[in-house]
Amino acid sequence: MTGGLQILLLIALALALLFAAWGDWQRRDIPNWLNAAIALAAPLYWWAAGYALWPDVAIIAGLAAALFILFAIAFAIGAMGGGDVKMIGALALWMTPLQLPMMLIVMAVGGGLLTLAMLMRHKMSKRLGKPEIPYGIAIAAGGLWVNVNEILTISHLTT
């Protein structure tokens, strides 16, 4: 619909993801207000992108809900933090069914590399206990990967 507004919203999302990644690295925390802002801005993005309520938005919302439930199970068994789960659900609201798998692949690969690095760091520093993995960095990387591709695609189409 409006390429300029769509790009502006994607840039705002990118900044939010970078802020979330930085905060997760520094404090191992992704604020609820940030996840809420990401989720609440998604309908404006849907409008700017020209998505129809049916079936586009319904499919996106359904996939985001399913992903949130799947990762909430990971949270319930102690495999993931609550802020990470909320961030994945909020970010999924910005992804089409074709973009979501790419986000998840980049997130998984990035998360695996991040986990290995954090485990090595934990072992080398001889710390006790279980290391905390700032998985929000991997989630942000997956979102940024798709986001930057979308910005470049829109920019190409509008020029």
Would you write out the chain's pLDDT as a tens digit for each of its 159 residues? 568 999 999 999 999 999 999 999 999 999 999 999 999 999 999 999 999 999 999 999 999 999 999 999 999 999 999 999 999 999 999 999 999 999 999 999 999 999 999 999 999 999 888 899 999 999 999 999 999 999 999 877 766
Which range of residues forms the domain containing residue 106?
3-158
Q: Where are the alpha helices (H) located in 50-81, listed in sequence order?
A: 58-76
Q: CB 149: neighbour CB atoms within 10 A? A: 12
Tally of structural domains, the chain: 1
- What pLDDT score does 155 carry? 79
Output DSSP code: residue 133: P
Q: Where are the alpha helices (H) located in the chain, listed in sequence order?
A: 3-27, 32-49, 58-76, 82-92, 100-124, 136-158
- What pLDDT score does 3 carry? 81
- What pLDDT score does 102 carry? 98
Q: Which two tokens stand for residue 1?
A: 């619909």
- How open is the CA angle 62-53-67, to the nearest 5 degrees? 15
